[in-house]
Structure 1
């Protein structure tokens, strides 16, 4: 890293689709629920929910499938499946784990900011370790509201405007940008549009701390 570049005050990580490839787990659960209720679940339905607050997603599912399950029961059923799968195996997204380890070695604080609930995120938190963890069941307003990212920055004792957020969905990127973070978007299941204070990259494979700082313009125009 050259002397012009400064370290971000913190890096705030989304989980699903950014750190670990859980989207197929969520999607297969949605298909199973729909099938159990005699309803066809489409790819469009699944993509519509990527990055959403779990209860918001469950209300959408309830609307689509009908039946007797409450949104809370839908979250419990889907979340239980994903948590079990994650305990068995974590499919890391390319470059993500390596970047987490490099940031830790450099002393950059990191937070996990996920709409998954604490019991779902637990295996990932145990595997990687974070300085702060914000989960969907610990905030009042989920993504795309800025509260999750503002909460993470506050827990780390930094301003959100001094943080870099790493996200894979437009919902998550909108949440982080609304909080004032610079966003590095790594689209996975859905596209993420270009926007101010946002850099869209194809993959984190080979992306290091110096690349992150450069993307965020640290030491240059964006302070």
Structure 2
């Protein structure tokens, strides 16, 4: 057995919005429509502050912008609108389906770890042409939202794996913070937000062209770096 094979992750833990599917523009459009329906004006700056946030926080900010609805009603309405947009076009992030497929075919368990509600998480998962996830941890499963580590710790527990031997893939500072706090090895995939100081073990510009060897290499480097008391270097210059 090669060193890379020996260091394959115990599990791969995936964020959803912005990592597997580029739904952030869908969320922003739904937020804008909702605020405007109450006579307010939504801004791109406000929308960007919600990237990676739990929906409870999003609902609170929308209420500050004049949306006169209960938090749960806001969450359900926004989720339904985003799900409808996904039904018309699934906005896969580059390389996400390919990496999901490679991990699935290897037999390594995968979990979906998202702060979207469960019905939306399963809606997206159903578009993947195979049963990719052994478990789904969504906003309505946990008590604490990201950046708290509960979601990632719950996923590892449900899979029966050591979280420190698992690789988490995230696109937001909030999500990276959550995964790092859980003890997982974390790959930050640069998208809408700058991840330079997020604490990710490795920052990639894309998942396109990435495979099992890449995950194994990050895991091996991260474990060595942690033993030495550091983090893994930014890889973007070589990407």
Please give the range of the TM-score, normalised by the shorter of the 2 chains: over 0.9
Q: Distance in 1 between matches of 2:62 and 2:80?
A: 16
The answer on whether the counterparts of 1:194 and 1:200 sit within 8 Å (CA) in structure 2 is: no
1:216 matched to which residue of 2?
Answer: 219
The answer on whether the counterparts of 2:177 and 2:199 sit within 8 Å (CA) in structure 1 is: no
Confirm whether residue 16 of structure 1 aligns to residue 14 of structure 2.
no
Q: Cα–Cα, structure 1 residues 160 and 187, in superposed 2: closer, same or farther, change >3 Å?
A: same
> Comparing 54-63 with 81-90, which one deviates more in the overlay?
81-90
Q: Distance in 1 between matches of 2:215 and 2:102?
A: 11
1:137 matched to which residue of 2?
Answer: 140
2:41 matched to which residue of 1?
Answer: 40
Q: Distance in 2 between matches of 1:211 and 1:121?
A: 26
The correspondence of residues 165-180 of structure 1 with structure 2, limited to 5 A, is 165-180=168-183
2:32 matched to which residue of 1?
Answer: 31
Q: Distance in 1 between matches of 2:159 and 2:121?
A: 19
* 1:45-87: CA deviation from partner (whole Å, max 9, x where unpaired): 1110011111111111111x22421111111110110122223
Please state whether the residue corresponding to 1:91 is helix, strand or coil. coil
Q: Cα–Cα, structure 1 residues 26 and 217, in superposed 2: closer, same or farther, change >3 Å?
A: same
* 1:123-147: CA deviation from partner (whole Å, max 9, x where unpaired): 2222332111101111111111100
Q: Which runs of 5+ in 1 are unaligned?
A: none
Q: Distance in 2 between matches of 1:159 and 1:96?
A: 24
TM-score of the aligned structures, taking structure 2 as reference length: 0.87
Q: Distance in 2 between matches of 1:90 and 1:217?
A: 33
Please state whether the residue corresponding to 2:220 is helix, strand or coil. coil
CA RMSD of aligned residues (A): 1.7
**What is the deviation of 1:196?**
4.7
The answer on whether the counterparts of 2:59 and 2:74 sit within 8 Å (CA) in structure 1 is: yes
TM-score of the aligned structures, taking structure 1 as reference length: 0.93
2:87 matched to which residue of 1?
Answer: 87
Please state whether the residue corresponding to 2:224 is helix, strand or coil. coil
Confirm whether residue 4 of structure 1 aligns to residue 7 of structure 2.
no
Q: Distance in 2 between matches of 1:109 and 1:115?
A: 20
Q: Cα–Cα, structure 1 residues 87 and 100, in superposed 2: closer, same or farther, change >3 Å?
A: same
Q: Distance in 2 between matches of 1:180 and 1:47?
A: 27
Q: Which runs of 5+ in 2 are unaligned?
A: 228-239
**What is the deviation of 1:216?**
2.6
- For this pair of structures, how many residues does the alignment match? 221
The answer on whether the counterparts of 1:7 and 1:218 sit within 8 Å (CA) in structure 2 is: no
Q: Distance in 2 between matches of 1:27 and 1:15?
A: 16
